Amino acid sequence: MTPAAFTHFVFVDFENVPSVDLGLVAGKAVHVTLLIGKKQTKLELSLVQQIHRLAERVELVEVGASGHNALDMTLAYYLGQAVQRDPRAQFSIVSRDKDFEPMIGHLSSLGIRVARSDTFAAAFQSAPKKPAAAAKPAAPAKKPPEDRLAKLIVSFKGRPQHCPKKRTTLLHHIATFYGNKLSDSGIEEIVAKLIARGVISIGDKGKVTYR
Is 137 a domain residue?
A: no
Judgement on whether residues 155 and 187 belong to the same structural domain of the protein: yes
Is 134 a domain residue?
A: no
Domain count, the chain: 2
CATH number of the domain that residue 94 is part of: 3.40.50
User: In a 10 Å sphere around its CB, with 0-12 CB exposed, 13-18 middle and 19+ buried, how is residue 92 labelled?
Assistant: buried
Is 91 a domain residue?
A: yes
Judgement on whether residues 118 and 73 belong to the same structural domain of the protein: yes
Last-in-domain residue among 58, 92, 124? 124
Q: Name the pLDDT band for 104 (thresholds 50, 70, 90).
A: very high
User: In a 10 Å sphere around its CB, with 0-12 CB exposed, 13-18 middle and 19+ buried, how is residue 70 labelled?
Assistant: middle
Judgement on whether residues 35 and 116 belong to the same structural domain of the protein: yes
- Nearest CA among 100, 104, 48 for reference residue 69: 100
Judgement on whether residues 149 and 73 belong to the same structural domain of the protein: no
Last-in-domain residue among 124, 159, 174? 124
Judgement on whether residues 18 and 86 belong to the same structural domain of the protein: yes
Judgement on whether residues 73 and 9 belong to the same structural domain of the protein: yes
pLDDT in tens, 126-176: 555 555 555 566 666 665 566 888 888 888 877 777 788 888 888 988 988
Is 84 a domain residue?
A: yes
Is 135 a domain residue?
A: no
- Nearest CA among 74, 76, 93, 90 for reference residue 36: 74
Is 133 a domain residue?
A: no
Predicted TM-score of the model (pTM): 0.57
| Structural domain boundaries, residue 54 | 3-124
Sign of the Cα torsion 53, 124, 62, 5 reads positive
Is 96 a domain residue?
A: yes
pLDDT in tens, 44-93: 899 999 999 999 999 999 887 766 678 889 999 999 999 999 999 999 99
Judgement on whether residues 102 and 47 belong to the same structural domain of the protein: yes
